[in-house]
Amino acid sequence: MRVIQLGAIALVAVGCSGDKKGEMTPPAAAAATPAPPAASASGPVVEVRMTGDGAKKAAFEPSTLTIAPGTTVRFINVSGGPHNISFWSDSVPAGGAAALAKGMPDPLTDLTSTFLTKPGDHYDVSFAGAPAGVYKGYCQPHLVLGMRVKISVK
């Protein structure tokens, strides 16, 4: 998706021309293509804090939670980052991977968020359309420290 977005930006930047100083005329193809909608939290938002000391301990707080379908889980880097959220594909219920793909904006890879490098950074995962079941996830940089989370959708 990033390649497509960057390509579109480059196309608009290269294709824009102006007859008068400061006036920009977008190319017809770019003007006719709407931007993809940004993911937004439409249901309740539940916060999960990502903490650690960077060397010996790291955790999701809480590490176990139960949510309703349509809930957005907001992962917040509090300390000890960088952190991210990645879901094991074999732990996701049937149909869950497709729902998470829609609910994870600008993923690093399938079922994996970008890295949160600064305290206060957050990443929202929408469980809109997610089937009931257990979703097991982890923080890639801190998996060896046991940084795991279990989200039950009921």
Q: Where in the chain is the domain with CATH 2.60.40.420?
A: 45-153
**pLDDT at residue 26, rounded to an integer:** 38
Q: Judge contact between 123 and 86, C-beta under 8 A.
A: no
**pLDDT at residue 2, rounded to an integer:** 42
Confidence class for position 90, pLDDT limits 50, 70, 90: very high
Place of tokens 């279990």: 150
Burial of 36 (0-12, 13-18, 19+ CB in 10 A): exposed
User: What are the pLDDT digits (tens) for 97-136?
Assistant: 999 999 999 999 999 999 999 999 999 999 999 999 999 9
The letter for the amino acid at 89 is S
- The CATH code belonging to domain 45-153 is 2.60.40.420
**pLDDT at residue 27, rounded to an integer:** 37
**pLDDT at residue 55, rounded to an integer:** 81
pTM: 0.73
